[in-house]
Amino acid sequence: MRIVTKRQSWKSSRLLGGIDFEREIKAAMRIDRVFKVGGCRAIPYERKIIEMHPLMGSDILNKISREINNDLISSLEVAENIILHHHEKWDGTGYPHRLKGEEIPLEARIVAIVDVFDALTSRRPYKDSWSVERALSFINEQKGKYFRPIHRDVFLLLFDEKAAQKKGCDTVRSTGI
């Protein structure tokens, strides 16, 4: 089972302005992944069940929070916000509560863009992995729809910065997207 990649935690931490929520993100996403099965080919009632996974994850977190060591999750509020709201969309069409814009907690908005990129570029039982270029194009198209425009802009900037660092470049190149 895939939890949170180094790529996801690095990008999420950078998007949060250097605040290190890596532990909270990893712990929250472990709970989220428990219920991620099925996918795009689900029939309507299966889709409803899939869309309940944030609620189930939040319920699990709340039930076990009294028993877990705070070294695992130092901020239950941050973890719950990530678990519960990372499928909400900027335009209000997400789930489970159809939150819109600033109603969506910051940490959930940031994890959402990283989670989408990871989901698109990863092979799943119901789909092949997308190329990085195709995933970046999708993220670009979702500016103002799925993602807050500034989060999309920063994600692409940080993606280019990390790619440039990997290549040993001193300057950030533009994807042209």
Nearest to 111 by CA among 5, 6, 11: 11
- Amino acid 75: pLDDT: 73
Q: In sequence order, which ranges of 1-90 are alpha helices (DSSP H)?
A: 6-15, 22-34, 44-50, 53-64, 76-85
pLDDT, tens digit (0-9, with 9 covering 90-100), for 85-133: 999 999 999 999 999 999 999 999 999 999 999 999 999 887 899 999 9
Mean pLDDT of 22-26: 58
- Amino acid 113: pLDDT: 95
Q: Dig out the tokens for 74 from the structure.
A: 């130092």
How far is Cα 84 from Cα 60, in angstroms, rounded to an integer? 11
**Above 50 in pLDDT, residue 76?**
yes
Neighbours of 160 (CB within 10 A): 18
**Residues near 47 by beta carbon (within 8 Å), at least 6 away in sequence:** 38
How far is Cα 17 from Cα 39, in angstroms, rounded to an integer? 32
- Amino acid 28: pLDDT: 56
How far is Cα 75 from Cα 2, in angstroms, rounded to an integer? 22
**Above 50 in pLDDT, residue 174?**
no
Mean pLDDT of 5-17: 52
